[in-house]
C-alpha cells in the first residue's frame, strides 16, 4: 500500500535555517548533475515533489532509538509514567528524574530536525509556485508544505516555548540567520494560517501512500485549537468550539473508523488505513523503524534482534491504575509481561514489567529484524476524545460527546459513561486520553496544556506543579517547558533560556 515516501530523494539536503542545495536523483536528466542551485533547480514537477519529500524526512530523527535511548522517549519520561532498564541512556534518566538540562541530546534532536523541516517547507512554499505544473498537484504539494510547517512549529512551541518564527528561506548572509524569539501568540497565529492554507489545497481525505491528507490537516487543526483553548494562551470557549468543529469534520467525513482489534494498531497490513489518519512512514529493509529494540527487555533473549535495550516500558503503577475490566490492560493488548525465548519458542519467560505491545512488530522481533511499522501521529480514537473534551467545555456532556468517548470505551470492554456532571465528564475523558493514547507522545502535551497530572495511586487528577511521580520526583513550574539546547543559546545570543534551567 505504501509509496515509501520516506525514501527521500537525495536531490536536496537543506541544512537547518539554510537554503543551500546539492546532489542528484536518477530521474533527472540534467547535463551537469553536480551544479544544482536554487536558481536552476526548481524547474520540473518532480522537483516540487522532491523538496516536499525532504520535509517528511525530518519526522524520522526524533524516532531513532538504540543503546543511547531515543529522542521520542523524552516526552514519555516527562510524564512520570515510564521506566527504563538502560543505564547508559543518561538523557532518559535526566528527564525521568526531573534533573534535565540544556545539554540533553534529545532536546537538540527535536530542535534541529524540526527547524530543518521548517527550512525545507519555507523553500517549498517559495519555489513551488514558480514551477510550471498541473495546478491541482501544485496546490497539493503546497498544502503538504504548509501542513508540515505548522506541525513542526506546533511541536516546538509546546516543547520549548521561547522559539524563533521563520517563514522565509535564509542563508548565511540573511539578517534573519540569528532571529529573535517570537511571541507565543505569533507562533500559534502562523500555525493556524498555514493549516487554513492546507485546508484549501485539495488534499484527499485519506492518502493510503502515507502522504499528508485532509484528515491529517483537520486533525492537526483540531489539536491546535484545543491547545490554544488551554495553557498557555487560555483562549477559552471560542477555541474549544473550533476544536470541536474540526474534530467533527473528521468524524462526519465517514472516512475513518476505529479498528475492531487493538492488534491492528501494530499491523503493517493496516498502516494508513482504518483508524490511522497520519503516520510516520517506514519500510522494512529500506527505511526500517528502529524503536523495536527499545520496547523489549534488556538482554533477556526474547528477540531475534541482537540488540535488546529495555529502553522504555510502563510503570507498573500506571497500568494498575486502569479501570477494572479495561481490555487495554490485558496481556498483549497494550502491554506484555511475558514472551517466548529466541533460543526456544516453546519456553515462555516472565518479564516482570509492562513492556509496550502496541508498537511491537512481531514478525521483525521473531525473524526479520527489520521493521516497516509506521509510527502513529494521529488516529481516529484521539479525534473522538478531542471532540468529546471540546464539546463538553462548550455545552456540557451532550449526547454526541457521550457517543464519541463511549465508542472508545466499548472497544475496551468498558461500560458507557452516563449521567455525569460537566466536571465528572471532563475528567472521565482525560482518563481515556491518558490510557488510550499512552506511549504515543501525547500525554505530556496534554499535561502541559491542562496543567494537570494523573495520580496513579488516588486515580485522580491534580495540579501539574507539585505533582509527585510515583517513584519520588516532584514537578516544578520549570517542567512546563524543556530547556532550549545549549548550542542554540550559544549560537544565537538573542535567545534566552527557559526559567529554571
pLDDT of 269 higher than 50: yes
Mean pLDDT of the region 445-463: 98
pLDDT at site 394: 97
- Do 60 and 70 meet the contact criterion of CB atoms below 8 Å apart? no
Mean pLDDT of the region 95-109: 98
Mean pLDDT of the region 156-184: 92
pLDDT of 35 higher than 70: no
Residue 2's pLDDT band (boundaries 50, 70, 90)? very low
Mean pLDDT of the region 202-225: 98
Residue 180's pLDDT band (boundaries 50, 70, 90)? very high
Write out pLDDT tens, residues 382-392: 999 999 999 99
Residue 55's pLDDT band (boundaries 50, 70, 90)? very high
Residue 36's pLDDT band (boundaries 50, 70, 90)? low
pTM here? 0.93
Mean pLDDT of the region 277-305: 97
Q: What are the domain boundaries of the chain?
A: 291-373
How many angstroms separate the CA atoms of 3 and 166, rounded?
Answer: 31
pLDDT of 15 higher than 50: no
How many angstroms separate the CA atoms of 373 and 103, rounded?
Answer: 31
pLDDT of 4 higher than 60: no
Q: Output the DSSP codes for 366-406.
A: III--B-PPEEEEEHHHHHHHHHHHHHHHHSS-HHHHHHHH
Write out pLDDT tens, residues 238-260: 999 999 999 999 999 999 999 99
Write out pLDDT tens, residues 197-206: 999 999 999 9
pLDDT at site 173: 81
Per mean pLDDT, which of 9-18, 41-50, 382-391 is the most reliable?
A: 382-391
**Phi and psi for 154 in degrees, rounded to 5?**
-60, -40
Write out pLDDT tens, residues 397-452: 999 999 999 999 999 999 999 999 999 999 999 999 999 999 999 999 999 999 99
pLDDT of 85 higher than 70: yes
Q: What is the mean pLDDT of the chain?
A: 92
pLDDT of 16 higher than 50: no
The position carrying cell 513542526 is 152
Q: Is 314 helix (H, G, I), strand (E, B) or coil?
A: strand
CB-based contacts of 333: which residues, under 8 Å, 6+ apart?
262, 327, 357, 358
Amino acid at each position: 500500500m505504501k509509496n515509501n515516501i520516506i525514501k527521500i530523494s537525495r536531490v536536496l539536503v537543506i541544512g537547518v535555517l539554510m537554503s543551500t542545495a546539492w546532489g542528484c536523483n536518477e530521474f533527472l536528466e540534467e547535463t551537469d548533475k553536480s551544479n544544482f542551485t536554487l536558481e536552476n533547480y526548481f524547474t520540473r514537477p518532480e522537483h516540487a515533489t522532491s523538496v516536499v519529500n525532504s520535509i517528511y524526512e525530518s519526522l524520522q530523527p526524533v524516532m531513532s532509538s538504540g543503546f543511547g535511548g531515543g529522542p521520542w522517549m523524552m516526552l514519555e519520561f516527562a510524564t512520570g509514567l515510564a521506566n527504563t532498564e538502560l543505564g547508559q541512556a543518561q538523557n532518559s534518566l535526566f528527564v525521568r528524574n526531573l534533573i534535565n538540562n540544556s545539554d540533553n541530546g534529545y532536546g537538540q534532536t527535536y530542535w534541529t530536525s524540526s527547524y530543518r523541516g521548517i527550512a525545507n517547507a519555507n523553500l517549498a512554499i517559495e519555489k513551488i509556485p514558480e514551477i510550471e505544473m498541473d495546478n491541482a498537484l501544485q496546490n497539493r504539494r503546497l498544502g503538504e508544505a504548509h501542513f508540515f510547517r505548522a506541525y513542526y512549529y506546533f511541536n516546538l512551541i509546546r516543547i520549548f516555548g521561547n522559539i524563533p518564527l521563520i517563514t522565509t528561506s535564509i542563508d548565511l548572509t540573511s539578517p534573519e540567520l540569528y532571529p529573535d524569539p517570537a511571541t507565543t501568540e505569533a507562533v500559534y497565529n502562523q500555525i493556524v494560517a498555514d493549516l487554513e492554507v492546507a485546508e484549501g489545497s485539495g488534499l484527499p481525505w485519506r492518502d493510503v501512500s502515507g502522504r499528508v491528507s485532509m484528515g491529517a490537516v483537520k486533525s492537526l487543526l483540531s489539536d491546535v485549537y484545543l491547545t490554544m483553548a488551554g495553557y498557555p494562551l487560555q483562549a477559552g470557549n471560542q477555541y474549544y468550539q473550533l476544536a470541536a468543529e474540526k474534530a467533527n469534520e473528521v468524524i462526519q467525513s465517514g472516512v475513518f473508523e476505529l479498528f475492531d482489534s487493538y492488534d491492528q494498531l501494530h499491523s503493517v497490513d493496516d498502516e494508513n488505513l482504518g483508524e490511522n489518519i497520519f503516520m510516520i512512514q517506514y519500510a522494512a529493509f529500506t527505511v526500517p523503524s528502529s524503536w523495536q529494540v527499545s520496547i523489549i527487555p534488556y538482554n533477556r533473549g526474547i528477540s531475534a534482534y541482537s540488540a535488546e535495550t529495555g529502553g522504555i516500558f510502563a510503570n507498573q503503577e500506571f497500568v494498575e491504575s486502569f479501570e477494572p475490566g479495561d481490555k487495554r490492560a490485558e496481556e498483549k493488548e497494550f502491554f506484555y509481561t511475558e514472551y517466548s525465548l529466541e533460543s526456544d519458542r516453546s519456553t515462555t519467560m516472565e518479564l516482570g514489567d509492562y513492556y509496550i505491545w502496541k508498537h511491537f512488530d512481531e514478525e521483525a522481533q521473531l525473524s526479520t529484524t527489520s521493521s516497516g511499522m509506521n509510527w502513529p501521529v494521529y488516529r481516529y480514537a484521539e479525534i473522538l476524545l478531542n471532540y468529546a473534551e471540546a464539546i463538553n467545555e462548550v455545552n456540557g456532556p451532550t449526547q454526541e460527546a457521550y457517543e464519541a468517548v463511549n465508542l472508545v470505551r466499548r472497544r475496551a470492554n468498558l461500560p458507557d459513561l452516563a449521567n455525569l456532571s460537566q466536571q465528572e465528564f471532563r475528567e472521565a475523558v482525560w482518563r481515556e486520553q491518558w490510557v488510550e493514547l499512552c506511549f504515543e507522545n501525547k500525554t505530556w502535551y496534554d499535561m502541559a496544556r491542562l496543567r494537570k497530572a494523573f495520580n496513579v495511586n488516588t486515580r485522580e487528577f491534580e495540579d501539574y506543579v507539585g505533582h509527585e511521580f510515583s517513584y519520588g520526583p516532584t514537578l516544578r513550574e520549570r517542567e512546563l517547558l524543556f530547556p532550549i539546547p545549549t548550542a542554540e543559546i550559544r549560537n544565537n545570543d538573542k535567545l534566552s533560556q527557559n526559567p529554571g534551567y
